[in-house]
Structure 1
């Protein structure tokens, strides 16, 4: 039922975003302003709907607290579902203000759980760990060579439901700032910082943007160290990628009806690295789909005694696992792009 509601909401966002893109100004000046994008990259996206699955991997858990003890089990599947939408509030040649919304849900299903199974596994079973985010991103081009980006994002991350949500318990904020140089139409370079929870505990993370197209077929897209991909343009409707991506999440949870309930609000953090292969393909004009697969290796997966704490309650050791994901997304209609080029 919840997935059905999400899909219905996503379709509404689809129509809203396509309309917003179609109504973008037609009087763009001919002067070129600097942006992070380069020739050969895929088109910007308005709405994205995606699903990912990691099947069948082992988990071992250790705790120094005798009230929790150690445990082990087998995860039958780890599911992720997400919807993202972006709409331009300001869409001028030199300045763009983008409003973004995203909803993500992930759940774990374990094999052969019973009343004697490890409490953390019993709590996570079929539990919807959610993230609802709202963001504003401002991109400004100073001239033909220089640009900067500021993004502010707020997220509600945790095991809340519609009936028990308390915003201060789950709210997390992220701020990104970046400055870049557009060397040529095929080469953009930038540096930036993020204050956020992308890889678990709130920290400051540096990043280096490097986008370069070498020829009609090959290019590189990266924000190091978070991700890097080699791009192959088969044609204007089909793109292939190979690379890696770091992923993380931080959830505030209240693990009631288990031994974890005595700790009240605890924080579940994870950081993974994925080696990936990806294909993106146009279905019809502004509708594209993507298929991605690869191997996920966990880096950290831990439970902490309170939000923002360094004191670990449980350390989880997850086995590496293959994964597969699919996406359906919208890009600006081709007619609009042709009008912009005139």
Structure 2
């Protein structure tokens, strides 16, 4: 895979730098040992799902995301039927089929995370999320020259024209389950179903192109200011299917000014609280999914763009009124992957970081600045 070693080095360096934030001395809970209740009935206590000083949890979020202009190069579209050995795409020097400039990339994002059950012994949150990505390709791009004939004889548009006319969309259903075992230990499960592609809202793509992600984390809540956890995730955040370790590291200083909010590799932030109504986050998000391209999906197979991107960013959050907060992000969209695979019978496969399976396309995007503004309904 292109840039594999660079990406691995980046990941390890970033992880090493983020988890070494200094933690202050833990609170001395022994001072409460002599406290007794008048009633002798034992009370089962559980670890809380939040920490003091963390950014407010968003129940409903509506935002608009926009990337600055950037250049792109898309290779020819290859199918196993059109070559003697697999796709036969030269990853180091692919045959470029089209190049151009995206004047705009972005669109509406809606995220929900609604409490279904909220008890001290169990928390279940569920949400439907929608991300619409529109592309405005520069008129200088020659779409007509990028057209080609599919193995089934049909004529197809180039990828640039597909993006310009259709865009890409993602709809997912996410469920998060929080199981506290006692006052300090807990387990978090998250499951997600994604439909991603160039489909229209009135005409969805085949259900067998739905991709499934899941994560499980075991954690310890040391006190009201610090918790950590380790786990494993089945994820598409790097575009193609991958299995990666998960590290949680959430910490708040005793004066509640500084902190970290880390669920690596999905996200990692350093936090500064100006006051209880405004804060600043600096860190990164890892976004990605596998996008079905309907026009290239023939003979019962699914042709998918493995879109993954790292987003270093600074985000300011502030309370407007009541439970309504505003957020403003500015950052850098770094292309991790925009290559493509053809999936036999729509069944996915595992390539990971070291697999040598050939790609159906080798695509390159320049890395632009991006901005995101949003309104959020947050928890009390």
Which residue matches 2:57? Answer: 44
Which residue matches 2:9? Answer: none
1:311 aligned onto 2:363: no
Q: Secondary structure at the match of 1:123?
A: helix
Q: Secondary structure at the match of 1:46?
A: strand
Among 119, 127, 135, the residue aligned to 2:166: 127
Which residue matches 2:16? Answer: none
Shift in Å at residue 321 of structure 1? 0.5
1:116 aligned onto 2:155: no
Which residue matches 1:207? Answer: 246
1:60 aligned onto 2:73: yes
8 Å Cα contact 1:36/1:188 also seen in 2: no
Shift in Å at residue 243 of structure 1? 1.0
Shift in Å at residue 146 of structure 1? 0.4
1:329 aligned onto 2:376: yes
8 Å Cα contact 1:36/1:211 also seen in 2: no
Q: Higher mean Cα deviation, 116-125 or 184-193?
A: 116-125
1:216 aligned onto 2:216: no
Aligned partners of 1:253 and 1:182: how far apart in 2? 44
Change (3 A) 1:199 1:36: farther
Which residue matches 1:251? Answer: 291
Q: Higher mean Cα deviation, 174-183 or 309-318?
A: 309-318
Shift in Å at residue 263 of structure 1? 9.5
Which residue matches 1:77? Answer: 104
Aligned partners of 1:209 and 1:270: how far apart in 2? 25
Among 333, 337, 340, the residue aligned to 1:300: 337
Change (3 A) 1:287 1:117: farther
Change (3 A) 1:273 1:196: closer
Aligned partners of 1:293 and 1:77: how far apart in 2? 16
8 Å Cα contact 2:324/2:376 also seen in 1: yes
8 Å Cα contact 1:90/1:97 also seen in 2: yes
Q: Secondary structure at the match of 1:42?
A: coil
Among 93, 98, 108, the residue aligned to 2:120: 93
8 Å Cα contact 2:237/2:266 also seen in 1: no
Question: 1:240-292, CA deviations, whole angstroms, 9 ceiling, x for partnerless residues?
Answer: 01112222121111126xxx879963101111111111100000011001000
Instruction: Give the number of aligned pairs.
Output: 302
Which has a greater percent of strand?
Answer: 1
Larger radius of gyration: 2
Aligned partners of 1:294 and 1:181: how far apart in 2? 32
Aligned partners of 1:274 and 1:44: how far apart in 2? 20
Aligned partners of 1:37 and 1:90: how far apart in 2? 16
Q: Secondary structure at the match of 1:38?
A: coil
Q: Secondary structure at the match of 1:255?
A: helix
Among 134, 147, 151, the residue aligned to 1:107: 134
Shift in Å at residue 166 of structure 1? 4.5
Which residue matches 1:34? Answer: 47
1:232 aligned onto 2:272: yes
8 Å Cα contact 1:266/1:303 also seen in 2: yes
Over the aligned positions, Cα root-mean-square deviation in angstroms equals 2.5
8 Å Cα contact 1:254/1:264 also seen in 2: no
Aligned partners of 2:167 and 2:275: how far apart in 1? 39
Q: Secondary structure at the match of 2:120?
A: coil
